Amino acid sequence: MNDATSWRLNPTDEMLHHAAQSLGSSRVVQVLWRFSAPLSAEALQAEWRRLDGGLLSRRAAPVRFPGARRAWVRAANSQPLHLEQRPLTDATAPQWIDAQIQEPLPTDSAALWRLAAAPYRGGCLVSLTVPHFRSDGLGILNALAGSTVARRPAGLRHSDAADALRQVGGAVVQSARWTLELVRNPRRRALIGTALRRRPAPPPGPPAQPRFFTTAIVDVDASAWEERARACGGTTNSLFLEIAANLVRAHVPRQERSDIELGIPMNLRRGAADERANALVVVPLGVPDRPVQHEDLRRTRQATKTLLEGSGAHSATLVPAPLWHLLPTRLAGALKNPGAQQTDAVASNFGQAPDAVARLAGRTAESVALRTMNVPGLHPDKARLRASLCLCRLGSRMALTVTGMPDHFGDSTSLHRLVAEELTAWGLTARPWWCAPAPDPKKG
């Protein structure tokens, strides 16, 4: 989809850019590969060059015509390939992975993304880190699998002036229909009124320091996961969501016993050719703040289905998106729906990793894992988020990544234990991702 929509910043793109500044930290997506054999420096360098010609190497440019949305323009990545010479151990591998994601990739810099590799257990680990404001996880997977060079569409209909006319026209048409709906919907009017009220000033005193989340990555048999989900009346995804809810229920203190909100990234892409940076909206799923349970997924499954059926691109903002783009910054900031960082936990299910993603620099990985992290950390007084989970399948195995506030989940060793105990309660066996056996016979 090489059109004007894909190369203009949408509300999610702009919100992620703004959050990096207003919340004092950036959301970063990290893709990890584990290989049983080394990758040559030449092959990795060729992979770096291929990625630099794709959708990850672009930046947001200001507009030249009032009312137009900012546009993505091609850019060169100033971050070179990083190769670690010293072999990693089971103890140092997590430290190396954390070090890659903590490398700064500021919004206004030419450091667009970071590719790094290190020897490990006779093979290697590879890390790719991309700021979320530059691409969502599925966009990164599409960029990895893509074989064509990214080019911004040219021509008058893709100009700033044409986009400004589209935004103004869309704002007029959609706002008229939206206003009629607003008159008939007191709940929506109350929601907008609440959003427009000025936030109370923060209490006096020094702000809370950013907290870098700890991480656990485990490997689980995909068939066992699916069988357990079916036996409990659910799906792969509803089991994933219930695991996230249980971790919050058991380990995150709450002042009020109200619903736990799980942020579900809803995919809005129209296939692998969709070139939008962030084609998703995070919708909050309310689950009961009850004692943990490991038997029934029917309620979570139905609630998820109902939520997603009523959600879509319109769920990102409280007013029509064309009108939202034309509003002053303060109003636009108030009239957006809360994102992932204002939920208790976010659960991102990436599904099956494409073969083209598993195959990097000429070899097929044993496993692919993803995680999303706040860098340099999450400010607990500005964001509600306390845990973030990612699920990715490759062949017959699932890679489950859990990151959490250390105040609640402890260090990495403690979090690994808590995750393993939760999976055991569901009848699933979790193995550390670092040393899980290679299940896929297809080796490059």
How far is C-alpha 432 from the geometric centre of its chain's CA atoms? 22
pLDDT in tens, 266-303: 999 988 788 899 999 999 999 999 899 999 999 999 99
- Percent of the chain exceeding pLDDT 90 equals 68
Over the stretch 157-173, which tens digit does the pLDDT of each residue have? 889 999 999 999 999 99
Cβ-based neighbour number of residue 356 at 10 Å = 14
Question: pTM for the complete prediction?
Answer: 0.92
More confident residue, 379 or 77: 77
Rounded Cα gap, residues 174 and 421, in angstroms:
50
Highest averaged pLDDT of the listed ranges 189-193, 251-255, 287-291, 370-374 = 370-374
Count Cβ neighbours within 10 Å for each residue of 189-220 and write b for 16 or more, e otherwise: eeeeeebeeeeeeeeeeeeeebbbbbbbbbbb
Comparison of pLDDT for 357 and 205, the residue scoring more:
357
* Amino acid 27: pLDDT: 93
176-235: per-residue pLDDT in tens? 988 988 888 888 888 888 888 866 666 666 777 899 999 999 999 999 999 999 999 999
Across the range 17-45, mean pLDDT stands at 91
Ordered alpha helix ranges (H), 278-411 = 298-309, 321-326, 329-334, 355-358, 406-409
Residue 439's pLDDT band (cuts 50, 70, 90): very low
Residue with tokens 């995804």: 237
CA 209/CA 152 separation, integer angstroms: 40
pLDDT exceeds cutoff 80 at 149: no
Which pLDDT band, with edges at 50, 70 and 90, does 344 fall under? very high
Number of helices (H), then strands (E), in the chain: 14, 16
**Rounded-to-integer distance, Cα 310 and Cα 228, Å:** 28
DSSP-derived pairing of the beta strands 260-267 and 345-352: parallel
Q: How far apart are CA 435 and CA 402, in angstroms?
A: 17
In the prediction, which pLDDT does 5 show? 64
DSSP conformation letters of 339-378 = -GGGSSEEEEEEEEPPHHHHEETTEE-SEEEEEEEEES-B
For position 188, what pLDDT does the model report? 84
Q: What is the mean pLDDT of the chain?
A: 90
- Residue 184, judged by CB atoms within 10 A of its CB (0-12, 13-18, 19+), counts as exposed
Arithmetic mean of pLDDT, 371-391: 93
Q: Which strand (E) or helix (H) includes residue 38?
A: none
